[in-house]
Each structure stands twice: as C-alpha cells, then as structure tokens.
Amino acid sequence: MAEKVKVCRQCKKIIESGNKCTDCGSEEVTDSFKGKILVIHPDKSTLAQNLKVNKKGMYALKLG
C-alpha cells in the first residue's frame, strides 16, 4: 500500500515519503492540507512570494 502524502508544517513542502522535510529538516508534518502548487520559478512567482516559498518544488496552499 502506498504511503500517504504529508506536508511540512514549517515550510508547506509536500513530502512524498518519510516523516522529515527534505528542505528545512523539520519533523512536524501533517496529512491534512488543501490545494497544491508546483513552484518552478520562485523568484518570479507572486503566489510563491505570498506563500514565502523560495525553492522549487511542490507545496500545499493551505494546511488543515
């Protein structure tokens, strides 16, 4: 059975496996979130700047 997708509570990075964020190293994760955004150019994206995202990757829009 596939592992449930989780999100880091600190930086909102979507984590495909494990319980530790690969970006910030936090172990505070949740499986309750709404919406996803794929950030390709964080420096050019207004939405990424509003979410305070500064790295490429998949992020949650809102934590539950």
Dihedral of CA atoms 39, 41, 44, 46 in degrees, nearest 10, equals 0
Give percent of the chain above pLDDT 70. Answer: 95
Number of Cβ atoms within 10 Å of the Cβ of 50:
8
Number of Cβ atoms within 10 Å of the Cβ of 15:
19
Largest CA distance in the chain: 38
Q: Is 21 left (phi over 0), alpha (psi -120 to 50) or beta?
A: beta
pTM of the model: 0.86
- pLDDT greater than 80 at residue 30: yes
**pLDDT tier, 1 (very low <50, low <70, confident <90, very high otherwise):** low
